[in-house]
Structure 1
């Protein structure tokens, strides 16, 4: 019987766990034995007794690693934290491959097969395995709630005997999964919400959530290139300048700004400058979801709340982790869906062919080597 091990997360401030008691039955049904490091789920509110009641065995970390055929992880463990793992063990989870080439070399040195689920392509087949989307959804929700708690006024319009209070204004920059959830949550909290993105074609998504799209009108010659799949291509410099001026004027009138723009493998793009911060009302709040990757906002600090020009800047790095119960449950389902897709029921074993599109996209190391084409040259 193959064995899955789930270790306690050692990253500072991380409360999630890669498997929950609710997910145990799914893995057991496939035919896995599950080992849980003692205390692994404690910070997410999952006691060892709950795992044991679901059929898992609670063991020390060393025993879990020595017995594991598969190890699940929310954040990338350091190679030293995997001491004693068997060669050929599959490490599956969020492995942040762009962050540390030396760590990938360490995985190769251990002889493990490391699969980074954040590298899954955005395809229909991979949707149920997509840890970025599931966790970004929660981070977007938390960003809006955090902004509401930091703001020194209420979000919805209120009518009282003493007079009316106007609704707060919230502006979301970046309309991916996190941005869409931030829009929806801010709307539910009663704010007047607007949003923008580098892709003008997302206007309809913004409007569908009851928010106002903030885009310059596209003129003849603005679209320099067209991209495949129906997406807009690169826009002209003239359009970009007009859009930047429109956004600058819009930011000045906002009570809340939430930024969500990330580029894999590169520093986060700068969306809000110091001059734009200075134009905002004192007491306004910005939540920067890209703080850990350099920040969308000038002056933001990862993991801290700082103030510039009277504006609070929240460098949010743990939005999903602060919702550890739901985040862990979604993460565990993502991992299950990935593993189940390659489960050979007859042999009770994983069959993960290297030429499969999703395996090729996620496999970082195998056979003692870094094999992913994006990372092998840098590690050579």
Structure 2
């Protein structure tokens, strides 16, 4: 195991120093592909610009293990000796850790004699975009897969602890863009136009009542207005006002309700002012959905690996692993990487001491999934 740990740290440091943003992970892809081929792992020939899918074992059943590979447009401020070499790009969400951990699991699985099936190893691009999961699914490599497993590092958990929860761990993510259209006029004569700014302001206030008055109080839900734009000078009432934001929740029913209420409030408030509302909706990933069977297995294997287990904290952040779980059963686990600044922060870091136990756990989990599937 000492040699494996040295390999994992070496790869983790390299990946951390060479981050690439979504859909541009060309160097990362080449590095992973070369490493897998040199290690005797089968790499599938797929129509992917970035990202790699490989296999160990043979026959059915087929189980999948996924890591994401993209970084974020953030300038690193950790001061680590292996800090990002690219100004303005950083692995601030731990995808370098995910890749190294799944590489380690791959090496352990490759050494297994008579592996009772196939493990499909997915190094997925563009999780942060999001959308990379759909690219992978469109290749057909999941069509014969029985279950899928994924991980995310967590600065909320210490090294040696896993966060495992049945059901949702992360939230559905949607984006909306509303254009309130009025009628521009001179600021001295508002009666001659229709000012879209009060319309936008009224909507912004009303949108918060969706969570406080339309959603059952024990349900998680969020409406955040993040971008407001109108006009370009001091003495002109503009024609339009733009409002942009995001909605998050943990249940499909709440997701539908929030979307319906956003549309209703925008249209009806605009009508009350004599204006018009045009809403564009961009649907992101659903909430993750860990099934009972595979969640129970994930917990059991964690205990067998002498890892501590806590109920995973839920988050209204999104995760496009959830796209896979719309099609396949599986489990998405959190692995503790030690106290740190939050994910997506310039000072975010993970403790490399978590690499070996995470890789060992993932390999054991996938091995055990074959017997569980046959049962």
Q: Under a length normalisation based on structure 2, what TM-score does the superposition of the two structures give?
A: 0.32
